[in-house]
């Protein structure tokens, strides 16, 4: 293949800092990328035609190795913390130069022009440069795909350079390890080196949009899934891993707008992406039929193993990692909405898996409570979900996506509160965890009960219920919900030992209050007033 027109003059090469004289593969089709991956011995097909690869040493993101360049743009605006780590601009220039030299030394590189944001007013043009063809397939699957007409005049707003084979030198390059992900807002570039985990590209752009959209365009960016009903009513689902976000948003009676990253404007909700990046562990057609059926030709499956002597994936295997993944275009989902833009949300669901067993199956939140819970981002990890966890562990992740939130969480919460107020949105806290006692004593709330709760909220029936006030958290709990036994709606009723329930309730409230100390500065009075009263 010849060097594409946009590179043939050499101007674009020089602008990127490349002096490559060999082969640049530009905008290859998925079939071509799959063929090239297999011919280079970097992957194999499974029995359904999906490409299966290993991402190498890293099978997940490395948050401690992600940095934002500190400069006159970011210094006063970024909420610097353990996730938003500073790196001096001189190290960005040093690593950029080294990476360009590395790419220039390669006989082949793969380039793809892509788009983030389905809303025409907020499109971000991205040029992705990869060392491997399968990484370029990921970019094809996850980002929006420009039309041939758009490609004719395509000008990148941002660049991603991803080279798993390039390693930093911690002694000279200003980073603690040989792998890194660096975002420069001044130079509009993301550098990813030393790791083949493709999710670093996706989350790098999410971090960028989480800064640009709220800061510069008054658009609320959200780590959530969304769907829309036949009448145009949009539902938003926030939730950390294990809370049921993907399962509950995948409703055959509603169109899927997107499963992970969205923006909320003054008139619509829109998907940032053109695809999905789903977990595969314990995947089955019965539990997740849409994801299971999306693993076909064109999909990219990462870090799985096969049943011995076959090309059939063993989805239960954790031999390589529990974080097995598949990426595929959004149109692989049968009920996906394209273009993935819909109207204003009518209902918001905060999903939590409460292992203490004290939160109700559903509660209606005030605006202040919604903002407080949004900043808190609570769930619990239980044994079996993460290596080393034997007892339930409370987990808080600001805005349900702390590693990707560059601004103070209160910024996003205040925007959320404003939209809730303006659009009269109903906000629900839904516990998909335990009742009748905590993990090991009580029972997991049945999925069909949770589905009934979601249906009642979406239909408006839950708004017409009578409510009672939960102590300490002051949530409003419905006394009746169609399809759910009324005796479990108030969690205290399900506990044999009422005193033990009260003790656990106070303990969880204290955890919320202690977690929130980090965010109290910068949060308004309405948010602070919504804290549990211990």
Catalytic residue list: 61, 203, 223, 241, 245-246, 260, 325
- Using CA atoms, how far residue 512 sits from 68, 241, 323, 359, 396, in Å, is 29, 19, 28, 13, 8
Q: What does DSSP assign to residue 147?
A: P
Report which of 177, 175, 179 is spatially closest to residue 163, judged by C-alpha positions: 179
Distance CA 63, CA 52 (A): 25
Half-sphere exposure of residue 54: CA atoms within 13 angstroms, side-chain side: 9
Contacts of 518 (CB under 8 A, 6+ apart): none
Q: Would you say 429 and 440 are in contact if contact means Cβ atoms under 8 Å apart?
A: no
Torsion, Cα of 353, 357, 360, 366 (10° steps): -70
Q: Would you say 455 and 235 are in contact if contact means Cβ atoms under 8 Å apart?
A: no
Q: Would you say 146 and 131 are in contact if contact means Cβ atoms under 8 Å apart?
A: no
Distance CA 297, CA 233 (A): 33
Phi and psi at residue 18, to the nearest 5°: -100, 145
Distance CA 44, CA 160 (A): 26
Work out the angle between the directed axes of helices 367-376 and 498-520 (0-180°, nearest 10): 80
Q: Would you say 369 and 348 are in contact if contact means Cβ atoms under 8 Å apart?
A: no
Q: Would you say 202 and 274 are in contact if contact means Cβ atoms under 8 Å apart?
A: no
Long-range contacts of 383-387 (CB under 8 A, 24+ apart): 383/439, 385/241, 385/242, 386/322, 387/322
Q: Which stretch of DSSP H or E encloses residue 152?
A: helix 148-152
Q: Would you say 181 and 205 are in contact if contact means Cβ atoms under 8 Å apart?
A: no
Distance CA 414, CA 406 (A): 15
Distance CA 505, CA 512 (A): 11
């Amino acid at each position: 293949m010849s060097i594409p027109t946009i590179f043939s003059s050499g101007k674009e090469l020089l602008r990127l800092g490349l002096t490559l004289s060999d082969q640049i593969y530009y905008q290859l089709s998925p079939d071509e990328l799959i063929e090239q991956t297999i011919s280079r011995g970097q992957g194999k097909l499974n029995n359904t035609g999906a490409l299966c690869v290993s991402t190498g040493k890293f099978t997940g993101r490395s948050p401690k190795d992600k940095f934002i360049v500190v400069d006159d743009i970011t210094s006063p605006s970024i909420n610097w913390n353990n996730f938003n780590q500073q790196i001096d601009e001189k190290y960005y220039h040093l690593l950029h130069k080294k990476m360009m030299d590395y790419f220039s030394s390669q006989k082949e590189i793969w380039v793809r022009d892509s788009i983030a944001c389905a809303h025409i007013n907020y499109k971000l043009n991205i040029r992705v440069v990869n060392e491997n063809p399968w990484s370029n397939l990921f970019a094809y699957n996850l980002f929006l795909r420009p039309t041939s007409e758009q490609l004719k005049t395509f000008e990148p707003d941002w660049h991603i350079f991803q080279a798993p084979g390039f390693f930093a030198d911690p002694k000279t390059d200003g980073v603690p390890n040989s792998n890194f992900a660096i975002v420069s807002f001044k130079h509009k570039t993301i550098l990813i080196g030393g790791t083949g985990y493709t999710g670093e590209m996706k989350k790098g752009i999410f971090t960028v949009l989480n800064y640009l959209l709220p800061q510069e365009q008054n658009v609320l960016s959200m780590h959530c899934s969304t769907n829309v009903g036949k009448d145009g009513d949009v539902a938003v689902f926030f939730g950390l891993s294990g809370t049921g976000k993907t399962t509950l948003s995948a409703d055959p009676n509603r169109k899927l707008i997107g499963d992970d990253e969205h923006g909320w404007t003054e008139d619509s909700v829109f998907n940032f992406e053109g695809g999905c990046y789903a977990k595969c562990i314990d995947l089955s057609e019965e539990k997740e039929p849409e994801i299971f059926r999306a693993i076909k030709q064109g999909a990219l499956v990462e870090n799985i193993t096969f049943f011995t002597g076959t090309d059939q994936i063993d989805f239960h295997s954790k031999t390589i990692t529990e974080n097995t993944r598949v990426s595929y275009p959004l149109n692989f989902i049968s009920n996906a909405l394209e273009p993935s833009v819909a109207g204003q949300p009518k209902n918001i669901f905060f999903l939590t898996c409460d292992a203490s067993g004290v939160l109700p199956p559903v509660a209606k939140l005030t605006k202040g409570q919604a903002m407080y819970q949004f900043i808190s981002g609570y769930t619990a990890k239980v044994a079996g979900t993460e290596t080393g966890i034997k007892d339930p562990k409370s987990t808080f992740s600001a805005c349900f996506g702390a590693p990707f939130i560059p601004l103070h969480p209160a910024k996003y919460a205040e925007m959320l509160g404003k939209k809730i107020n303006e659009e009269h949105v109903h906000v629900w806290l839904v516990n998909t965890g335990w009742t009748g006692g905590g993990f090991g004593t009580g029972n997991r709330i049945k999925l069909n009960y949770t589905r009934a709760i979601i249906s009642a909220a979406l239909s408006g029936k839950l708004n017409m219920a009578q409510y009672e006030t939960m102590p300490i958290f002051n949530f409003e709990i419905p006394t009746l919900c169609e399809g759910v036994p009324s005796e479990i709606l108030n969690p205290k009723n399900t506990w044999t030992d009422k005193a033990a329930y009260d003790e656990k309730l106070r303990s969880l409230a204290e955890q919320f209050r202690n977690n929130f100390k980090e965010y109290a500065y910068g949060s308004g009075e309405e948010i602070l007033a919504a804290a549990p009263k211990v």
